Amino acid sequence: MTSSFSADTTAESTVIDGVHYHQFDIVIVGAGGAGMRAAIEAGPGAKTAVISKLYPTRSHTGAAQGGMAAALANVEEDSWEWHTFDTIKGGDYLVDQDAAEILAKEAIDAVIDLENMGLPFNRTPEGKIDQRRFGGHTRDHGKSPVRRACYAADRTGHMILQTLFQNCVRLGINFFNEYYALDLIMTEVDGVKKPSGVVAYELATGDIHVFQAKAIIFATGGFGKIYKTTSNAHTLTGDGVGIIWRKGLPLEDMEFFQFHPTGLAGLGILLTEGARGEGAILRNASGERFMERYAPTIKDLAPRDIVARCMVQEVAEGRGAGPHKDYVYLDCTHLGAEVLETKLPDITEFARTYLGVDPVVEPVPVMPTAHYAMGGIPTNVRAEVLSDNDTVVPGLYAAGECACVSVHGSNRLGTNSLLDINVFGKRAGNNAVEYVQNVDFTPLPENPAAFVQELVENARNSNGTERLSTIRKELQEHMDRNAQVFRTDESLAEVTETIHNLRDRYRNIAVQDKGRRFNTDLLEAIELGFLLDLAEVVVYSARNRKESRGGHMRDDFPKRDDENYMKHTMAYLTGDPLSSDAADHITLDWKPVTITRYQPMERKY
């Protein structure tokens, strides 16, 4: 069903041979934080549509808890230069420093923009936006923790999502909700390939829709469902990243995946880093505050990659808690009921509901959970998608977790994701408006929906013997076992073989539901194809990087190797993705890291 909130309700379409055709200046794929922030900039200056596989307020931005970084200096002295340094150091120096400077400088206006839109931030007694500590954020270039995270209890992402959606409604943005984008149409004009439209499947009817556009912005989020233990929702299957990959455009730094330290043990449900920002402590089975040994300066507020590795190491060395000694504790008991119920109400309730543990009186079992993709669709600082190291694809943009600008390098600092979607979502929207004012529509090819029609019908008519849920479960379990916090060439080779076997079995799947309306079985079959594609790129890129850096920890190459690997991985699809060997269809190259002010040095916390 089409949901249009424009004042004149103009979301006209033409139906030709059963396919619905729409025309907009700008089409945004994804209605999370980045997509709606782009829409707020694009809507007033161009006819804009947002396509979303979910109702916008169900997008995964709403699951973000702890805060959004900005050097407002409302509570303590702070500066955007310190924020820039922390972002670069936290990313283990694989961050493009021009992008980090933009992120930190524009963070202040990004927060004020949200405040002016109506976001209800927590306040200091003086009425200013309150700020709290978060992992890796420091003053004076690493001397001590600083209060930089602006927050709304532990529901910051939820508040951002609601605020952005309300403002999109106010601006009359056209939303197409529960439409699954499945293809990007690229048309060659004067020897240059440009996007001319997006093809989407309407969940409610099973109809195919073609959205012709002058500019297209991808804001489709991450792909954490390649893992079993993950904070990501069931819908985060990497569709946007997978579409870009299948069009022959590169993906950048896919080996770097973040494992958030504090997921509920055995479940992966996230407990915000804001708990440690408020003073919560990680303890092993004996009650020791073990992070004092690993990061004596900022302890539990070290960057996420460091904390996650330390937790796994504690368990591996026999200091884990519980019947199987397979987790550690997050101790919030000293914070008191008032802090937990007012500043951290959601995570308090999560622990009670899912583990039967009350954080007010007992520590909470936690272990790392797959959380965030640092890699994705390569862009420049204007959010323009790149077809190689520096060539722009005219009219194609990406922002948020699906994009790699690269502002997070090999490890994202907490609170920089909500910042990223606002800073670069805004830039994508503004730059798309500027672009469409000077170009005409690129003609669509003949029968632009043919690929998606064939994809959908092949899935609908599949009558094999393999169950989707079985293949997905095996993929996720093997990724958890072999490509999680610690990796080796042996473990990566094992999961590579598994993925190739699962690909063969994927050809023999069975879709039980043959209907057209609300056929989620069919769509899960297509989503599984994207998961297999992206898991393979993650693992193939990881085997090629023979060092440890940020979220990529190789037990067989435990040191960072700046001489050989201070560069971004660029992966290209160059053959048949169904071939049995990844080397037959994936080609890897390198891209230099942009260094402006801070030379790589050892990370000490």
Q: Which residues are catalytic?
A: 304
CB atoms within 10 A of CB 14: 10
Question: Does 262 belong to an annotated binding site?
Answer: no
377 within 8 A of 249, measured Cβ to Cβ = yes
Question: Does 54 belong to an annotated binding site?
Answer: yes
Question: Does 234 belong to an annotated binding site?
Answer: no
CB atoms within 10 A of CB 370: 29
Question: Does 334 belong to an annotated binding site?
Answer: no
The packing angle between helices 450-460 and 520-544, to 10°, is 110
Question: Does 66 belong to an annotated binding site?
Answer: yes
- By three-state DSSP, how is residue 572 classified? strand
113 within 8 A of 303, measured Cβ to Cβ = no
Q: How far is CA 273 from CA 19, 192, 249, 372, in A?
A: 46, 45, 35, 14
Alpha-carbon distance of 223 to 529, in angstroms, equals: 12
Question: Does 239 belong to an annotated binding site?
Answer: yes
Question: Does 58 belong to an annotated binding site?
Answer: yes
Question: Does 213 belong to an annotated binding site?
Answer: no
Question: Does 172 belong to an annotated binding site?
Answer: no
| Angle at CA of residue 272, ends 269 and 274, nearest 5° | 170
Question: Does 183 belong to an annotated binding site?
Answer: no
Question: Does 53 belong to an annotated binding site?
Answer: yes
Q: How many CA atoms lie within 13 A of 426 on its CB side?
A: 15
Alpha-carbon distance of 184 to 216, in angstroms, equals: 9
Alpha-carbon distance of 196 to 184, in angstroms, equals: 8
Question: Does 417 belong to an annotated binding site?
Answer: yes
Question: Does 30 belong to an annotated binding site?
Answer: yes
Q: How far is CA 16 from CA 423, 445, 448, 506, in A?
A: 39, 14, 11, 33
Question: Does 397 belong to an annotated binding site?
Answer: no
Question: Does 401 belong to an annotated binding site?
Answer: yes
Question: Does 83 belong to an annotated binding site?
Answer: no
Q: How far is CA 548 from CA 309, 370, 488, 534, in A?
A: 12, 18, 10, 21
Alpha-carbon distance of 519 to 61, in angstroms, equals: 25
Question: Does 279 belong to an annotated binding site?
Answer: no
Question: Does 56 belong to an annotated binding site?
Answer: yes
Question: Does 64 belong to an annotated binding site?
Answer: yes
Question: Does 7 belong to an annotated binding site?
Answer: no
Question: Does 164 belong to an annotated binding site?
Answer: no
Tokens of 460: 């609908």
Question: Does 320 belong to an annotated binding site?
Answer: no
CB atoms within 10 A of CB 361: 9
| H or E segment to which residue 441 belongs | none
Phi, psi of 215 (to 5 degrees): -135, 145
Question: Does 418 belong to an annotated binding site?
Answer: yes
Q: How far is CA 316 from CA 264, 267, 320, in A?
A: 18, 19, 8
Alpha-carbon distance of 357 to 122, in angstroms, equals: 27
Binding residues: 30-35, 52-67, 239, 260, 272, 371, 401, 412, 417-418
Binding residues for FAD: 30-35, 52-67, 239, 401, 417-418
Binding residues for substrate: 260, 272, 371, 412
